[in-house]
Amino acid sequence: MQIIPAIDIIDGKCVRLTEGDYGQKKIYNEHPLEVAKQFEAVGLDRLHLVDLDGAKTGAVKNWKVLETIAGKTSLIIDFGGGIKKEEHVKIVFNSGAALATVGSIAIKDEAEFVKWLLTFGAAKFLLGADVKEEKIAINGWLVKTDVWLYDFIEKYIGHGIKHIFCTDVSKDGKLEGPSTELYKNIINKFPELDLIASGGVSSVKDLEDLNEIGCKGVIVGKAIYEGRIGLKELVRLNS
């Protein structure tokens, strides 16, 4: 299972939200590059970079942060938040991201997203399935839709998507443990999928449990910044 540390960006700073609530923001570092270099220094090779300003406004905002981290580290970066147009996809790739992370567009404009898959290749996209009570949430988790999670996944597997990360919004940033049963259900329904768990990870045991049920990766954020899981432990569990 691959360990993927997360950096969430607001106003160019490394922050974390609780349950996707922009009113519950905590700044951890004003210089995201410093954080990224710490991950790289211990031997981690992936980074999940989220432009929360972009997610809220519907246009990529913090691409300079991406450009800086991509230019000054060798991390394999997936970048998301506010990717709504093909020009945004190009900005993200031109700024150094290996993968474009998308979610809302796959709900709001399926035809446009499928066009991107054909243009850039499905392997270049990490599809986010953010959920509230098994229904997809969009726009930086601010809007809950009527789209059932499993229908969403099945549709995009049909379009060639292999990598999906799933975040239970009710768990995110609360350090109460991940939605292990939810992930187990997804893996049972779609064994061909490379599922990345996200949200709620609070301990090494959580990571071990996610590995045990067959998650291909896990995104870890607040547990790192709050000192619940040491970087060396992450490296030990990374594969």
Q: What is the pLDDT of residues 6-15, one digit of tens each?
A: 999 999 999 9
Q: What is the pLDDT of residues 20-36, one digit of tens each?
A: 778 888 999 999 999 99
Q: Are 134 and 183 in contact (CB under 8 A)?
A: no
Which of the two residues, 210 and 138, has the higher pLDDT score?
A: 210
3-class SS string, 149-187: HHHHHHHHHCCCCCEEEEEECCCCCCCCCCCHHHHHHHH
In this structure, the strands spanning 76-80 and 21-29 are unpaired
- Tell me the two tokens of residue 88: 């945004």
Query: Could you tell me which residues come within 8 angstroms of residue 136 by beta carbon, excluding any fewer than 6 positions away?
Result: 103, 107, 129, 130, 144, 145, 147, 148, 149, 152
Query: Could you tell me which residues come within 8 angstroms of residue 126 by beta carbon, excluding any fewer than 6 positions away?
Result: 78, 80, 99, 100, 101, 102, 163, 164, 165, 196
Cα angle 221-149-153, degrees, rounded to a multiple of 5: 90
pLDDT score recorded for residue 15? 93
| DSSP letter (8 states) at residue 124 | G
Instruction: Compute the average pLDDT of residues 124-131.
Output: 95
pLDDT at 196 over 80: yes
Annotated catalytic residue 8: yes
In this structure, the strands spanning 143-148 and 194-198 are unpaired
pLDDT score recorded for residue 140? 58
Q: Residue 161's domain spans which residues?
A: 2-237
Instruction: Compute the average pLDDT of residues 12-19.
Output: 86
List C-alpha distances in Å: 37 to 34, 62, 75, 210.
5, 18, 9, 26
User: What's the chain's Rg over C-alpha atoms?
Assistant: 16
Q: How many domains does the chain have?
A: 1
Q: What is the CATH number of the domain that holds 76?
A: 3.20.20.70
List C-alpha distances in Å: 216 to 73, 121, 126, 201, 238.
24, 21, 13, 15, 11
Which one of the listed residues 53, 130, 172, 206 is annotated catalytic? 130
pLDDT score recorded for residue 87? 97
Which one of the listed residues 8, 168, 172, 209 is annotated catalytic? 8
Question: Average pLDDT over the chain, rounded to whole?
Answer: 93
Annotated catalytic residue 51: no
On whether the pTM is more than 0.85, the answer is yes
Q: How far apart are CA 63 and CA 65, in angstroms?
A: 5
Q: What is the pLDDT of residues 128-180, one digit of tens each?
A: 998 988 999 886 566 788 999 999 999 999 999 999 999 988 776 677 899 99
Query: Could you tell me which residues come within 8 angstroms of residue 85 by beta carbon, excluding any fewer than 6 positions away?
Result: none
Give just the sign of the alpha carbon dihedral 97, 58, 183, 110: negative
177, exposed or middle or buried, with CB in 10 Å at 0-12, 13-18, 19+?
middle
